[in-house]
Homo-oligomer: A and B are copies of this chain.
Amino acid sequence: MAASVTAALLVIGDEILSGRTKDKNIGYIAEYLTGIGIDLMEVRVVPDIEAEIVAAVNTLRERYTYLFTTGGIGPTHDDITADSIGRAFGVAVDHDPRAVAMLKERYGEGELTDARLRMARVPKGSDLIENPISKAPGFRIGNVITMAGVPSIMQAMLDLVAPTLQTGVRMTVENVDAGSLGEGIYGDGLAAIAAAHPGVSIGSYPSFTATGFRNQIVVRSKDPAAASAAARDVEALVARLTADRVPL
């Protein structure tokens, strides 16, 4: 098992950048990959412009263990992900007989329009990722995994591809609830704890509700003992400051 397996996510689509469609995949994929021991290091959202997709694919696939993409693999003219990834890899994109066979499970002979056949076009050398919902497959070439943008289909594809991925040591996460204790009250102490625990990442996250802020401190490390030691120090800090605290 590798100590660290990394990934980037590339979300492709004008509709996300215009705000028409609110992305639901970033948070899902982030949580999913974290859960299986793959560190999501970067996300980019780019428009349906081939040069932009190609540049992002080539930057991200070289930098991380895996690159996941969502969106742009449907049947319409604005679905240019397969062509863009082919261009990024410098390989031809053509109808794949295995993908055509999958589409034929759903569409009768007369229904398999040119547009639908577009969904069988994949970069040469790709493995297909089955689509149990609407049949048109995703694909994988090298370390790039291309999935649908429709969340339910993306999720099904991710379930199928996940068991084939290299994974690393899972992050141990400990949450310490700071309640309504202000970040500004514990910030100095937290910085000292963070400095004293190398290899541990400590984050402080306010959520603002109708009744005011509520803070949570999150301690993360690939070393469970280190995470635990830091979390105990954070708990002690929060307990001490809560006891000391001047009502604001």
State whether A203 and B153 are in contact (beta carbons under 8 Å apart), knowing that A18-B34, A19-B27, A45-B42 are contacts in the complex: no
Given contacts A171-B18, A204-B78, contact A185 B113 (CB under 8 A): yes
Q: Are B41 and A47 in contact (CB under 8 A)?
A: yes
Is A97 an interface residue when CB atoms closer than 8 A count as contact?
A: no
- Nearest Cβ on chain B to A191's Cβ, whole angstroms: 4
Residue from B19, B29, B191, B206 within 8 A of A74 (CB atoms): B206
Q: Is A202 part of the binding interface, using a Cβ–Cβ cutoff of 8 Å? A: yes
Inter-subunit contact A76/B18 (CB<8 Å): no
CB 8 Å contact bits of A149-161 with B (1 = contact, 0 = none): 0111100000000
Main secondary structure of the interface of A (DSSP, over half): mixed
Q: Is the CB of B21 within 8 A of A41?
A: no
* A44 in contact (CB, < 8 A): yes
B-contacting 9-mer, from A9-17, A84-92, A121-129: A9-17
Query: Given that A110-B246, A187-B116, A191-B77 are known contacts, is A17 also in contact with B44, CB under 8 Å in the complex?
Result: no
Cα of A29 to Cα of B18 in the assembled complex, Å? 9
Q: Once bound together, how far apart are the Cα atoms of A201 and B20, in whole Å?
A: 14
Contacts of A194 in B (CB 8 A): 77-78
- Of residues 196 through 248 on chain A, the ones whose CB sits less than 8 Å from some CB of chain B are 201-208, 213, 218, 220, 246, 248
C-alpha gap A116/B213 in the complex (Å): 15
Q: Is A101 in the interface zone, CB < 8 Å from B?
A: no
Q: Are A184 and B113 in contact (CB under 8 A)?
A: yes
From B33, B113, B203, contact of A48 by CB (8 A): B203
A105 at the interface (CB under 8 A from B): no
Complex alpha-carbon distance, A46 and B45, angstroms = 12
Would you list the 5 A-B pairs with minimal beta carbon distance, nearest first? A115-B187, A19-B31, A116-B184, A19-B30, A22-B27
